[in-house]
Structure 1
Amino acid sequence: MSYLNNKLIGVISGLLLSFSALAAQHVALNPSHPERYTVVKGDTLWDISSMFLRDPWLWPEVWYVNPQIANPHLIYPGDEIVLTYRDGQPVLQLSRKNSLSPRVRATPLDQAIPTIPIDAIAPFLTRPYVVDENELEKAPYIVHFLDDHIVGGAGISYYARSIMEERPIQYAVVRPEKPYKDPDTGEILGYEALYVGTSELKRTGDPAKLLLTSSDMEAIIGDRLIKEQEDEPLIDFQPRVPENPIEGRIISVLNGVTQIGQYNVVVLNKGANVGLEAGHVLRILQGGEAIRDIVKGRGETVTLPLEEAGHLMVFRTFEKVSFALVMDATKPLHVLDWVRTPGS
């Protein structure tokens, strides 16, 4: 069994906790919940739990593990989710035809439905999209292309300032773009790193020699080289509420879209430095601005309350910023909308 398959079973097993973990807190049902639902290809655990629960990240609180079912922590297309009650509390459990058959046990793990739509975030899981100022200053950079090339694409060799280590062999080529700034303090939290391509180290030195093995755009002199991530990216997530209250803002949206809605990727002005982790769920709030009271006049203002507008889930953290996927939105979202821990 591969590393990723082992990891997938471990993550989803952690997500779908046993019925004994049912907490004293009341889990509210979605008012329009079904009594049962048959899983189809393309579903996610978040989608299904949203059908049954008001707060889909509380799925583990009501999941009952049936020990008679092979791989009861994994859910496949064709499985049926059934809502029942125990001691007055809602319980969701899995119904699977031929649950003891060898065919079911042989079902590939990668056919199990994911927690969230992985395709929406796959490009953002491994590439170095955020770099800090110190990392930029220390990073090697392109100084010359071989064979009189002015710019570089896949298959072009070049020289870069100073790489003295033989490992790693692979480097991401990035172009520093706009700074990510905290909208309240003005602090620079990091720099957006535009992904240019991938390079392979051919010879160490100052200058070192490298080969562009792939490129999304033409490389230019001054582009930086960042060591590529060697660890396997997290491919599934355990949605949960942060242990500590967190308040932040949406400071950017990726992929060049202007209107923010479901399954858009946004950047938050909070990161690992305040305890944010992949899987943390935050609610999105709008409002809070001070408006002029034109009735009373004389410069008097009133601060509007914050109104809930959706939820997002953090899937990748950097030191001072995070990437998050908008899971649901009740109205159009905007840069500078607030995010907070649910319940706060």
Structure 2
Amino acid sequence: MLVQKTLRHGALFALLLGSLAAGAAHAANGWERIRDDAPERYVVVRGDTLWDISARFLTSPWQWPTLWQANPQIQNPHRIYPGDTLVLRDCEGAPCFALETGQPVVKLSPRVRTIEPREAVAALPLEVVNVFLRQHRLQEAGRALNELGYVIGGENQRFISGAGDTLYVRGVLPADTPMGFYRPGEEYLSASGEPLGQELVYIGEARFISQQGDIARVEALSARQEVRNNDIVLPLDEPIEADFQPRAPLNDVAGHLIAAPGGVRFIGRLQVVALDLGTEDGLQPGHVLQVDQQGELISDPRSGELTQLPSTQGGLMMVFKPYSRMSYALVMQAANVLSIGDVVRSPERQR
């Protein structure tokens, strides 16, 4: 009887050890990255972003590329479209996502058969960042503003012009490229005070008319405010596209939130911020960074000494426009109001 009882306890102990080992292996294979409430299937709808979709499945949305099983039979295997179905699967013990491609809408008539064009799901809200990029651009440090084309005057010796007016610009302009009027804004500095670039603020749109020597004639098509002499004239930036995914930087980076363009006082979700990190630090579009906010300084109730509380995670942001030494990023999550000077760094990696 004693022997049977001992054997039974040993079997239960072995079963418990086996369960724990299986759980540890399950976690080691990446299942701990999956949210407890993650769906097994999800149909993509118009308006979704890759961030939204990955946040439905993953505890850390930037880990999406490590679990995404791109379909090699699709022309661009990294693109996801409204109507597609994402399926959470077990790939040899590790989680992965597979794609069931939705069919495009087909319109039938006696004479015409058309397929509606589909717009791929973007990593982040493109309308937010493209509006920002139209209104803000950067002249990087080391490139002088006096090298750019600038307004020298309007017709009839006007110093201030508006939509419909003709102006003269010193500089050789491209003839068939949409142009914009810009005015110097904030000068960006690193946390140590080193110049990183000069913000240029969009004033309005211009149309090239003619060029004679180094003087160009342009028409102001639109103006958010009056166009003044010495305003800068540049080709409009191309809007960014959807061809990047949220992911962590390959290398560990650390820097600071240095500005909130547009005079924003309270920085929260879907606000654009400027960082003192750029391509020289390894940043690319889609890289996700964690914001660390410094803990409060309090007085110890016994010793009276000032004590710095540990820093806390304040949010997550995604880089969408990196330059050589600074970047623009969009705040994707914010647990608290973010502030100029907050530390930004590579997100904590789950092993």
What is the TM-score with the length of structure 2 in the denominator? Answer: 0.77
Q: Which residue of 1 aligns with 2:45?
A: 40
Q: Which residue of 2 aligns with 1:149?
A: 158
Structure 2 unaligned spans of 5+: 1-27, 108-113
Q: Which residue of 1 aligns with 2:186?
A: 178
SS in 2 for 1:192: strand
Contact 2:183 2:201 survives alignment (8 Å): yes
C-alpha change, 1:330 and 1:214, in structure 2 (3 Å) is: same
Contact 2:84 2:100 survives alignment (8 Å): yes
Identity of counterpart residues, as a percentage? 36
Between structure 1 and structure 2, the one with the greater Rg is 2
Q: Which residue of 2 aligns with 1:269?
A: 276
Q: Which residue of 1 aligns with 2:260?
A: 253
Structure 1 unaligned spans of 5+: 1-23
Displacement of 1:257 in angstroms is 3.2
Letter in 1 for 2:65: P
C-alpha change, 1:59 and 1:78, in structure 2 (3 Å) is: same
Contact 1:313 1:324 survives alignment (8 Å): yes
Match of 2:121 among 72, 88, 113: 113
C-alpha change, 1:275 and 1:285, in structure 2 (3 Å) is: same
Displacement of 1:69 in angstroms is 8.2
C-alpha change, 1:109 and 1:90, in structure 2 (3 Å) is: farther
Displacement of 1:256 in angstroms is 4.1
Match of 1:216 among 215, 224, 228: 224
Contact 2:70 2:77 survives alignment (8 Å): yes
- Please give the alpha-carbon distance, in whole angstroms, between the structure 1 residues aligned to 2:230 and 2:74: 57
Contact 1:72 1:94 survives alignment (8 Å): no
Contact 1:128 1:226 survives alignment (8 Å): no
Letter in 1 for 2:153: H
Match of 1:130 among 138, 156, 164: 138
Please list, as runs of the form range in 1=range in 2, the aligned pairs for 1:1-344 lying within 5 A after superposition: 26=30, 28-65=33-70, 73-95=78-100, 103=106, 108-125=116-133, 129-132=137-140, 134-161=143-170, 163-164=171-172, 170-182=178-190, 184-201=191-208, 202-229=210-237, 233-287=240-294, 293=300, 295-297=302-304, 300-343=305-348
Displacement of 1:138 in angstroms is 1.6
C-alpha change, 1:158 and 1:285, in structure 2 (3 Å) is: same
SS in 2 for 1:54: coil
Instruction: Name the stretch that deviates more: 206-215 or 50-59.
Output: 206-215
C-alpha change, 1:130 and 1:293, in structure 2 (3 Å) is: farther
C-alpha change, 1:176 and 1:66, in structure 2 (3 Å) is: closer
Contact 1:285 1:338 survives alignment (8 Å): yes
SS in 1 for 2:243: coil
- Please give the alpha-carbon distance, in whole angstroms, between the structure 2 residues aligned to 1:240 and 1:318: 18
C-alpha change, 1:264 and 1:187, in structure 2 (3 Å) is: same
Instruction: Name the stretch that deviates more: 166-175 or 278-287.
Output: 166-175
Instruction: Name the stretch that deviates more: 269-278 or 131-140.
Output: 131-140
Displacement of 1:292 in angstroms is 5.7
- Please give the alpha-carbon distance, in whole angstroms, between the structure 1 residues aligned to 2:147 and 2:70: 51
Contact 1:125 1:234 survives alignment (8 Å): no
Contact 1:266 1:323 survives alignment (8 Å): yes
Deviations 1:284-320 (A, max 9, x none): 11115766657534xx543432211221110002232
C-alpha change, 1:167 and 1:319, in structure 2 (3 Å) is: farther
C-alpha change, 1:204 and 1:110, in structure 2 (3 Å) is: farther
SS in 2 for 1:111: coil
RMSD: 3.2
